[in-house]
Amino acid sequence: MAAASFTPKVPKSWDRDPLLKVDHLSMRFGGLVAVGDVSFRAGRGEVTAVIGPNGAGKTTVFNCITGFYKPSTGRLALMQGGPATMAELDALTAGGRAWAKTAAGATYLLERLPDHKVSSRAKVARTFQNIRLFSGMTVLENLLVAQHMSLTQAGLINPVALLNLPSWRRKQKAALELALYWLDKIGLTARADDPAGDLPYGDQRRLEIARAMCTQPVLLCLDEPAAGLNPRESHELNTLLRAIRTEHQTSILLIEHDMSVVMEISDHVVVLEYGRKIADGAPGDVRNDPKVIASYLGVEDEAEAVAVTGVPA
Amino acid sequence: MAPHRSDLWEREDTPPETTPAAPPVPPAPAADAVVLPAIKDAVASGVITGLLLLPLVGFRATESGSGPLTLTYRFGLVAVFALLVAGLRLVLNLTLWRPGRKIRDNRSAGLAALSAKVAPAARPAFFALALLYPLLAVTLSGGLSPSRYWVDLGIYILTYVMLGWGLNIVVGLAGLLDLGYVAFYAVGAYTFALLSTSVPLNAFFDAHVAEGFWASWSFFVCLPMAGILAALWGVILGFPVLRLRGDYLAIVTLAFGEIIRLVLINWVSLTNGGAGISSVPAITFFGVPFNGNDDGFAARFGLDYDSMHRMIFLYFIILGLAALTALVTIRLRKMPVGRAWEALREDEIACRSLGINTTLTKLTAFATGAMFGGFAGAFFAVRVRFVSPESFTFMESAVILAIVVLGGMGSQMGVAAAAILLIGGMEMLRNLSFLKASFLFGPDFDPSLYRMLIFGFAMVAVMVWRPRGLVANRMPTIFLKQRKAVSGALVKEGHG
């Protein structure tokens, strides 16, 4: 396994209790290998950052995890509740099903789920690099659309809702309360009735995160959440993400270029370059890793040759 | 996110509020200095128009039978044109072209404020007017029989209002461009026509329920079936094509509409081909026929028999169906499925990331829209009592889509207004008999020939002035403190 060279004597928290286990993930577009044999784990209740230069394949990894791409090869196991044993995972992989109840909880093989089920069943939510809000709907409506799944368990067009019966109204009230909770969290209560497209950029970023959180995910995938934010907004974002991790037991997987965000809030950093993993570890370790420094700052040809051949295959 | 183009334009017009001092405005000239030149200009342009048109329009050589050419004079028409030009220039000089006129800062904001004020009253007003319309028609035209034309026109318009509202679900809410909506209208019409004229069914009900039961009750039984079958066809069409987007979806739905029509023409053994199905049973008042017999509607309710009773009942049937369409749509918009439709129109990828099954959501939109099309189709069959494939051409789909686009996608009142304007307006253009006056175009002139031309110009004009339709704003389905209309510039049209 690729992570082998980094495995220290004491197992890391993400190895002990992983929420997401990415094994030998490859994604090829025709002849282009966007992601080649990447394996890493994202710990339960932790913030895992995926970093790397532009074109390293970070967003491709994200799209595979969230079901927008079907990976060429590899296994993406999401373990709700608790870690699954190797035997359980292998049994699930050998069988044709996309999910199974394990001793500790349910385990999903994300590569076998269609994108909407990755969100609705496996409870993985995501945001986008270029913000994708429903710009013509109000802030509040955006947060209610996100609760579509919890509101439509009884069917898409159910008579209880059509006739506006009390049981339905209670359900809707609960949905509204969750939306208001997140509005308060991101400080946009005053703008609840404004169209999402009218919000300033930083607010739109936060709203997108709140919208993802309204799906009540176990894993929140954030694609460059700090892109385009000023230092103050970045700081607010850090506070929000920390709150999400500690108060909601939602693990976070994020792609980020802003090192101040990465180093400040992440527990675990995975570094990709040219579609391969070059480093994996705690932020402090990764920061001092020669291959990471080489890929970010550039080195002399000779040193680079060493660095590249040293990439674990 | 790239701002919408018109959004950019508005921003340019709007000075930022923080500007410390208002930009210098040239002092408005005194009234005399405006009005006098305006009148002079108007007179001058009127005279010039008159002189120009005098040889071109004023004289006309006509061939009277085998005789020599005779000259007819149309000075009246010249005068009308000259006055039109003069009047228009006068109005423009005093308003839009007035020197020193302060350009209003935010025209669309003003319109938005206006429509926000009008909007709450529009819906009750529309329904009140629709309810009272037959009474108005009968009173104003002076009797039941003379009101036939007006009640018929009301039925005709309401049919299109309903069709527009039905298509509005698919195009306006879910953002799926459907060019074959008439197919579902046809499915509904043929479902009712075929079932109600079916010999075995008639025989079965005659034998087991009552003589003539099926002929009198078939509409009320078949109406839900027409809706269900049309919805089923919506799903059948939807399944294979919903992975298509935008233009491709439009082309396939267009083809679907044509296929249905061609099947209706060619499946002669079932549909009687191009000859159509006649003798579709007439509507009854819940089993009571509208005729002059002793057990007819008039006799039972102690009225004098009049064939208009049936028409007025038909009017209320279509009003009820249209109201059902509107109410269900209003309700659905507030439900998760309606929000999912609108979210789908805004951003399909974001929908999928939130766990919304987009295929299922699109299918429900197609099926719901198709169902109301089917209802309208069954109504069409019972009103006309004859169905043939000729009633379900692409032109119908185009008109219904035009109503939705012109009205403002997603807006019910806009769609209703557009249906009244388009269908009523087209009909009114038949009645421009004053243009036949001898001093205008003469008795040979047929204004209805120019209907399509005027119709086309009107469409272009609306699209230039109000590119997002008559009602461009979107009303949010829920609000915390205040319901604010969402500007049309932010609302997306959908991409398939």
pLDDT for the residue A311: 47
Same domain for B247 and B338, yes or no, is yes
* Among candidates A120, A141, A193 on the partner chain, residue whose Cβ is nearest the Cβ of B339: A141
Q: Which helix (H) or strand (E) is A87 found in, with range?
A: helix A86-94
Contact check, Cβ <8 Å, B356/A116? yes
Q: How much is the pLDDT for A154?
A: 64
Residue A156: closest CA among chain B residues belongs to which residue? Answer: B337
At residue A9, the pLDDT reads 61
Q: What are the beta bridge partners of residue B474? A: B486
Three-state SS string over A17-56 comes to CEEEEEEEEEEEECCEEEEEEEEEEEECCCEEEEECCCCC
Tokens of A214: 């309204």
Answer whether A159 touches B (CB < 8 Å).
Answer: no
Task: Based on the fold, state whether residues B284 and B307 are members of the same structural domain.
Answer: yes
My answer on whether B323 and B413 are in the same domain is yes
Inside any domain, residue B481: no
Judge whether B253 is closer than 8 Å to chain A, CB to CB.
Answer: no
Same domain membership, residue B271 and residue B231: yes
Going by pLDDT thresholds of 50, 70 and 90, the confidence category of residue A301 is low
Strands in A268-273's sheet, in edge-to-edge order, are A124-126, A219-223, A251-255, A47-51, A268-273, A276-281
Per-residue pLDDT of chain B (496 residues; tens, 9 = 90+): 444 444 434 444 444 444 444 455 555 556 677 788 888 999 999 999 999 998 888 888 877 777 778 888 888 889 999 999 999 998 888 887 777 766 555 555 666 666 667 767 778 888 899 999 989 988 888 888 888 899 999 999 999 999 999 999 999 999 999 999 999 999 999 999 999 998 888 888 888 888 888 888 889 999 999 999 999 999 998 888 877 887 888 899 999 999 999 999 999 999 988 899 998 998 888 888 888 888 888 888 888 888 888 999 999 999 999 999 999 999 999 889 999 999 999 999 999 999 999 989 999 999 999 999 999 999 999 999 999 999 999 999 999 999 998 888 788 899 999 999 888 888 887 777 777 776 667 777 777 777 778 878 878 888 888 888 888 788 888 888 888 888 888 888 776 5
CB–CB contact A116 B1 (8 Å)? no
The overall average pLDDT reported for chain A is: 86
Mark whether B338 and B418 lie in a shared domain: yes
Number of domains in chain B: 2
Nearest residue in B to A213, CA atom: B354
Q: Could you tell me if B423 and B160 are in contact, meaning their C-beta atoms sit under 8 angstroms apart?
A: yes
B positions 428-487 inside 8 Å of A (CB):
474, 476-484, 486-487
Determine the structural domain holding residue B131 and report its residue range.
110-431
Separation of alpha carbons A114 and B448, rounded Å: 56
Asked if A144 is an interface residue toward chain B (Cβ–Cβ < 8 A), one would say yes
Torsions phi, psi for A76 (to 5 deg): -120, 100
Asked if B342's CB is within 8 angstroms of A135's CB, the reply is no
Q: Which of A88, A81, A8 is nearest to A45 (CA)?
A: A81
Per the domain annotation, does B20 fall within a domain?
A: no
pLDDT tens across A23-82, in order? 999 999 988 999 999 999 999 999 999 999 888 999 999 999 999 999 999 999 999 877
C-alpha distances in angstroms, B353 versus A215, B350, B368? 10, 5, 24
- Does the beta carbon of A211 lie under 8 angstroms from any beta carbon of chain B? yes
Model confidence band, residue A240 (pLDDT cutoffs 50, 70, 90): very high
Q: State whether residue A156 sits within 8 Å of chain B by CB.
A: yes
Say yes or no: B59 and B132 in one domain: no
Tokens of A266: 């992440």
Q: Shortest CA distance to A276 belongs to which of A61, A12, A29, A111?
A: A61
| Residue appearing with tokens 């680079």 | A304
Q: Is A143 an 8 Å CB contact of chain B?
A: no
d(CA B418, CA B416): 5
A171 touches chain B (CB under 8 A): no
Q: In the beta sheet, which residues pair with residue A35?
A: A27
DSSP one-letter code for A190: G
Of how many residues is chain B composed?
496
Q: Residue A15: is its pLDDT beyond 50?
A: yes
Where among B397, B431, B465 does a domain terminate? Answer: B431
User: What does residue B423 show for φ and ψ, rounded to 5 degrees?
Assistant: -75, -50
pLDDT at position B29, please?
55
Task: Closest CB to B339: pick one of A125, A145, A194.
Answer: A145
List, edge to edge, every strand of the sheet that includes A99-101: A32-43, A18-29, A73-79, A106-109, A99-101
Nearest-angstrom CA–CA distance, A140 and B476: 9
Give the span between the Cα atoms of A100 and B475, in whole angstroms.
44
Report pLDDT for A74: 92
Question: What CA–CA distances, in Å, run from B482 to A78, A188, A210?
Answer: 42, 15, 21
Task: For residue B149, tell me if it sits in a domain.
Answer: yes
| Tokens at A284, concatenated | 């402090």
Task: A3-12: list long-range contacts, CB under 8 Å, 24+ apart.
Answer: A3/A39, A3/A40, A3/A41, A3/A277, A3/A280, A4/A312, A5/A312, A6/A279, A6/A280, A6/A281, A12/A43, A12/A268, A12/A281, A12/A282
Q: What is the pLDDT of residue B22?
A: 47
Q: Which of residues 66-105 of A touch B (CB under 8 A)?
A: 66-68
* Other residues' Cβ atoms within 10 Å of the Cβ of residue B299: 15
DSSP, residue by residue, B100-137: TPPPPS-HHHHHHHHHHHHHHHHHHHHHHHHHHHHHHH
Is there a contact between A146 and A127 (Cβ–Cβ < 8 Å)? no
Residues of B in contact with A135 (CB under 8 A): 1, 346-347, 490-492
Nearest CB among A68, A140, A148 relative to B354 is that of A148
Same domain for B403 and B374: yes
Amino acid at B255: A
Minimum Cα–Cα distance from A163: chain B residue: B331
Write out the CATH class of domain A133-216: alpha beta
What is the C-alpha to C-alpha distance for residues B77 and B54, in angstroms, rounded to an integer?
Answer: 9
pLDDT value of position B477: 87
Whether B2 and chain A come into contact, CB under 8 Å, resolves to no
Residue numbers of B between 379 and 418 with CB closer than 8 Å to A: none
What gap in Å lies between CA B119 and CA B476, rounded to an integer? Answer: 13
Same domain, B81 and B204: no
**Contact assignment for A164 to B331 by CB distance below 8 Å:** yes
Instruction: Determine contact: B346 vs chain A, CB below 8 A.
Output: yes
Contact at CB, A130 and B1, closer than 8 angstroms: yes
Query: CB distance B340–A197 less than 8 Å?
Result: no
C-beta neighbour count of B61 within 10 angstroms: 9
Percentage of chain B beyond pLDDT 70 is 88
Q: Distance (Å, rounded) from C-alpha B322 to C-alpha B219? A: 16
Whether B467 is in a domain gets the answer no
> Using CA atoms, how far apart are residues B267 and B273, in angstroms rounded to an integer?
6
Examine the domain organization and report whether B98 and B209 are in the same domain: no
Question: Final residue of a domain: which of B77, B103, B129?
Answer: B103
CB atoms within 10 A of CB A296: 14
Q: Is B156 exposed, middle or buried (0-12, 13-18, 19+ CB in 10 A)?
A: middle
Answer whether B480 sits within 8 Å of A195, measured CB to CB: no
Say which CATH topology domain A2-123+218-309 has.
Answer: Rossmann fold (3.40.50)
Give the model confidence (pLDDT) of A168-199 as tens digits. Answer: 888 889 999 999 999 999 999 999 999 999 99
Query: How big is the A-B interface in CB pairs under 8 Å?
Result: 144
Q: Give me the residue label for tokens 């408005």.
A: B28
Chain B CB contacts of A144 below 8 Å: 336, 339, 478
| Alpha-carbon gap, residue A14 to A8, rounded angstroms | 12
Q: Is residue B379 part of a domain?
A: yes
Domain boundary among B376, B400, B431: B431
- pLDDT tens-digit readout, B67-107: 778 888 888 889 999 999 999 998 888 887 777 766 555 55
What does the CA dihedral B339, B341, B347, B353 come to, rounded to 10 degrees? 70
Q: Flag whether residue B96 sits within 8 Å of chain A, measured between CB atoms.
A: no
Beta strands in chain A (DSSP E): 18-29, 32-43, 47-51, 73-79, 99-101, 106-109, 124-126, 219-223, 251-255, 268-273, 276-281
Residue ranges, comma separated, of all CATH 3.40.50.300 domains in chain A are: 2-123+218-309, 133-216
What are the pLDDT digits (tens) for A277-290? 999 999 988 888 88
User: Is B493 domain-assigned?
Assistant: no
pLDDT for the residue A190: 93
Neighboring chain B residues of A67 at a CB cutoff of 8 Å: 352
CB contact under 8 A, A116 and B484: no
CB contact under 8 A, B343 and A128: no
